[in-house]
Amino acid sequence: MSAAKPPIVMIHGAFCGGWVFEGWAGRFRDAGYAVLTPDLRHHGASADPAALGRLGVLDYAEDLGRLIDGLSDLPVIVGHSMGGLLAQMLAARGKARALVLLAPSAPWGVWPSSLFELLSAQALFLAGDFWRRPLRPDRWLAACGLDSLAPDLRAATLSRLVSESGLAMFEILHWPFDLSRATSVDPRHVACPILCVAGGQDPITPAATVRRIARRYRGRAQYRELKGASHWLILEPGWEKLAAQTLFWLSRLHADAEAAQPDGRAA
């Protein structure tokens, strides 16, 4: 990392928006980082459900890539759930200085590790040709990932969920049938340091699946598991400690980069 702190781009997951990182963004700004928490296209106030149904993960990645190209420095990307997958896709394009993957969705070729993952993917077919239209947030499925939140915060979070692209969900959850391989990430092209964090009680992206993701990047990825955590690591009790640990991890990368300079100057 360079002497100046790099910008931070925080990418939210499916069915929500940049608001999920409100607490994290505050902690990172207090630590001296410039933080962006963009809404994915049609996930914010200007959402168009009809247009959302035609979007895929590559559209999201293109939008984020243009955002990053407009920054003055290469960012650290923090991604949660689907945002963690998008972070990996962007890193493979050389658009990340480091990655923090929080309960990340798996890229093309990483098989599910649990029966719940398989069954929840198959349940989408109950909605018919879901890949052609937007999906409303399924309160039962969303609640499975929000089970560690206090009741009032859980209700408030559920009330803010938005529709998601059925095509994007197909590309992520049914990748063996996606001939375009939209979620494909060549791990050889991801050269930056990576922190992978899993919730030990996460039914949506189980810890075993996150371990598989971390192994793809060999020595570039560090894996951490929070034993009592579920899927929404960024909102659950203890998120402040996780944010602080993430900031410490980034500070060590910064220190290591400075120490690597043979003349003692910052990178």
Task: Evaluate the CA torsion angle 96, 3, 214, 78 in order and state its sign.
Answer: negative
Identify whether 118 is part of a domain: yes
Distance CA 33, CA 83 (A): 20
The pLDDT assigned to 35 comes to: 98
The H-assigned helical ranges of the chain are 22-30, 49-52, 57-69, 82-92, 115-123, 139-145, 151-160, 166-173, 207-216, 239-259
Contacts of 161 (CB under 8 A, 6+ apart): 15, 16, 137, 142
- Tracing tokens 């009680």 back to the chain, one arrives at 201
pLDDT at 46: 77
Which is nearest to 246 in space by CA: 190, 197, 209, 192? 197
The strands making up 76-80's β-sheet, listed across from edge to edge, are: 35-36, 8-11, 76-80, 98-102, 194-199, 221-226
pLDDT of residue 267: 38
Inside any domain, residue 248: yes
Q: What is the pTM of this model?
A: 0.93
What are 157's two structure tokens?
A: 């979070």
Q: Is 51 within the bounds of a domain?
A: yes
* Within a domain: 2: no
Looking at residue 4, what is its pLDDT? 84
Each residue's pLDDT expressed in tens, for the chain with a length of 267 residues: 556 899 999 999 999 999 999 999 999 999 999 999 999 999 987 778 888 988 999 999 999 999 999 999 999 999 999 999 999 999 999 999 999 999 999 999 999 999 999 998 998 888 889 999 999 887 665 667 787 889 999 989 998 999 999 999 999 999 999 999 999 999 999 999 999 999 999 999 999 999 999 999 998 999 999 999 999 999 999 999 999 999 999 999 988 776 655 544 343
Number of folded domains that form the chain: 1
Q: What is the model's pLDDT at position 126?
A: 83
Enclosing domain of residue 145: 8-259
Is 187 a domain residue? yes
In this structure, is residue 194 part of a structural domain? yes
Is there a domain that residue 1 lies in?
no
Supply the CATH number for residue 113's domain: 3.40.50.1820
**Is 266 a domain residue?**
no
* Predicted pLDDT at 259: 62
